[in-house]
Amino acid sequence: MPMDANSTADVMVAPISRRSLHEELAARLRDMIVEGALPAGRKVPERELCERFGVSRTPLREALKVLASEGLISLNQNRGATVAALTRADLEEVFPIMGALEALSGSLACARMSDAEIEAVAKLHDQMVESFKAGDRPTYFKLNQAIHRAILVGSGNETLVATHQMLAGRIHRARYMANDDSDRWRAAIAEHELILAALQNRDGPRLAVILSDHLRNKLASVMRHFSGE
Amino acid sequence: MPMDANSTADVMVAPISRRSLHEELAARLRDMIVEGALPAGRKVPERELCERFGVSRTPLREALKVLASEGLISLNQNRGATVAALTRADLEEVFPIMGALEALSGSLACARMSDAEIEAVAKLHDQMVESFKAGDRPTYFKLNQAIHRAILVGSGNETLVATHQMLAGRIHRARYMANDDSDRWRAAIAEHELILAALQNRDGPRLAVILSDHLRNKLASVMRHFSGE
DNA sequence: TATTTGAATTATGAATGCATAATTCGTTTT
DNA sequence: AAAACGAATTATGCATTCATAATTCAAATA
């Protein structure tokens, strides 16, 4: 079987997924926390998690350290880990930051996204409007997130995406909660019309302002429905 | 010795500093990396660090995981840790984000800082100008950082401070490097005059713009002097 | 009976040990 | 001599063990 000099480098083998255990654990726990499977304030004893995942404490503890540095859990000396509970103050801190980050992403995206990519966002937008009309909140929520993410990714700034995602993880549950508010829902759709229009016009400064306002309004809605401390 | 009912709660004992080892190690390593004691790209073998700090591998590895999640080092499966090397692309990604964060902080600070706090910034500013005139770059650099930090803290948004600090850690060395550029130095002083004026006038929107521009100019200067990949 | 005390239990912090992947370096082969 | 192969070495990933702090809970005391 003849092979040319560089053949091994050219063959794209499926990457043998061998994430380290702590990485895999961090990802799983992150999902569990963000999705609410581990409710806020809950203690997360190492023993229990080790048994559930079938691993030893070492990689689990490494994962917990990472999640703590992401702000998803809090570690108390000799007292274990608890899922970080969101306070009103947290939300009031995080939303403006996400607003600033999304504003920046919008500004960059207007300059850097291809027409095809913008068209793809428009398609997501239309689907989102459809699920709004159908009253399908879960799908609406997913498409909404997809749009914001597409603009973020469209900025071409991976660090920006990562930073935004980290903050978004902390407040994911709160955002979803506030979703059952019909007035706000209508308003959000209207804002998204403006977002799409600004993006299609490649009006960066305007999109930045709209996104920032959008997040501010979202915060107000979340705060109205927030039942935490 | 009579004690009233709540006396134990009222006595402010010096907090017995018992950070866990991984926390202490993370802090030390973070400093070493940020200050350049561990040069970028350098391998950091666990064994060596364990001996240097006199600890076992377990807490050290936990600290490495945290630093990796902060972007200060990169972990390669079964191949250990290396101090993350900054690329031009990294700088081009991080500076705009820091610009957006500082812009937000400035906007908030104009609304929330007390007159006394603003006066303190003015004092820092004057000292900074003095060290500029004296050609004392290290002191200038410290005061410069102190001013930016004061505005960040003045925003009253701890998450904002933490997020900014994380990004700042990654690019600390590059920022310092670019400091030996007399033209840029003069320009930076001029920009800082504008910053102080906007803050004293509590003109949030203007301060936001100035800070964003300031960071953009800083990036340009850093890029001119950047010798990395 | 409520509060306090302290032994027993449990959970976490850190060190050590073991398995395996990666690297090194001497040997072989062309 | 250069490249390639493979055994020996080294470093890392994970599990286990040991030490110690925190918690629990029953007994003692006011």
pLDDT, residue A130, reads: 97
pLDDT, residue A10, reads: 38
Q: d(Cα B227, Cα A59) in Å, to the nearest integer?
A: 37
Q: d(Cα A116, Cα A143) in Å, to the nearest integer?
A: 18
Q: d(Cα B106, Cα B125) in Å, to the nearest integer?
A: 15
Decide if pLDDT at A229 tops 80: no
Q: Provide the shortest C-alpha distance from residue B85 to chain A (in Å).
A: 15
Q: How does residue B6 score in pLDDT terms, banded at 50, 70 and 90?
A: very low
pLDDT, residue B178, reads: 73
CB contact under 8 A, B66 and A65: yes
Question: For an interface test with B, which of A102, A159, A207, A216 has the most B Cβ atoms less than 10 Å from its Cβ?
Answer: A159
User: Is residue B160 less than 8 Å (CB to CB) from chain A?
Assistant: yes
Decide if pLDDT at B194 tops 90: yes
Supply the mean pLDDT for chain B: 91
B59-80 average pLDDT score:
97
pLDDT, residue B141, reads: 93
CB neighbourhood size of B27 (10 A): 14
Question: For an interface test with A, which of B22, B56, B58, B65 has the most A Cβ atoms less than 10 Å from its Cβ?
Answer: B65
Q: Which member of B62, B68, B97 has the closest CB to residue A160?
A: B97
* Six token digits for residue A199: 């993006």
pLDDT, residue A117, reads: 98
Q: How does residue B14 score in pLDDT terms, banded at 50, 70 and 90?
A: very low
The model's pLDDT over A6-35, given as tens digits with 9 standing for 90+, comes to 333 334 444 445 789 999 999 999 999 999
Angle between helices B137-154 and B158-177 (to 10 degrees): 160
Cβ atoms of B97 and A101 within 8 Å: the answer is: yes
The model's pLDDT over A83-128, given as tens digits with 9 standing for 90+, comes to 999 999 999 999 999 999 999 999 999 999 999 999 999 999 999 9
Q: Give the β-pairing of A73-76 and A80-83.
A: antiparallel
User: Is residue A30 less than 8 Å (CB to CB) from chain B?
Assistant: no
Decide if pLDDT at A70 tops 80: yes
Q: What percent of chain B has pLDDT over 70?
A: 90
DSSP structure string for B7-54: HHHH--PPP-----HHHHHHHHHHHHHHTTSS-TT-B--HHHHHHHHT
Q: Which member of A63, A66, A101 has the closest CB to residue B100?
A: A101
pLDDT, residue B179, reads: 66
Q: Give the β-pairing of A80-83 and B73-76.
A: unpaired
CB contact under 8 A, A70 and B66: no
CB neighbourhood size of A94 (10 A): 23
Cβ atoms of B94 and A161 within 8 Å: the answer is: no
Interface residues 63-102 of B with strand D (CB < 7 Å): 75, 77-81
pLDDT, residue A6, reads: 37
Q: d(Cα A85, Cα A124) in Å, to the nearest integer?
A: 32
CB contact under 8 A, B100 and A104: yes
B173-194 average pLDDT score:
86
CB contact under 8 A, B157 and A61: no
Burial-class residue A51 by CB neighbours within 10 Å (0-12, 13-18, 19+). exposed
- A209 alpha-carbon distance from chain centroid: 21
pLDDT, residue A199, reads: 98
**Residue, of B8 and A54, whose pLDDT is higher:** A54
Q: How far is the CA of B125 from the C1' of D14 (A)?
A: 53
Rg (chain A; Cα; Å)? 21
Give the nucleotide at minimum CA-to-C1' distance from A44: C11
The model's pLDDT over B80-130, given as tens digits with 9 standing for 90+, comes to 999 999 999 999 999 999 999 999 999 999 999 999 999 999 999 999 999
Cβ atoms of B59 and B128 within 8 Å: the answer is: no
CA closest to B20 among chain A residues: A77
Q: How does residue A4 score in pLDDT terms, banded at 50, 70 and 90?
A: very low
- Name the H helices within chain A: 7-10, 21-35, 46-53, 57-69, 88-112, 115-133, 137-154, 158-177, 182-200, 204-225
A5: β partners: none
CB neighbourhood size of B205 (10 A): 12
In terms of Cα–Cα distance, which of B24, B40, B37 is closest to B171?
Answer: B40
Decide if pLDDT at B9 tops 80: no
Rounded to the nearest 5°, which phi and psi values hold at B76? -115, 130
pLDDT, residue A17, reads: 55
pLDDT, residue A108, reads: 98
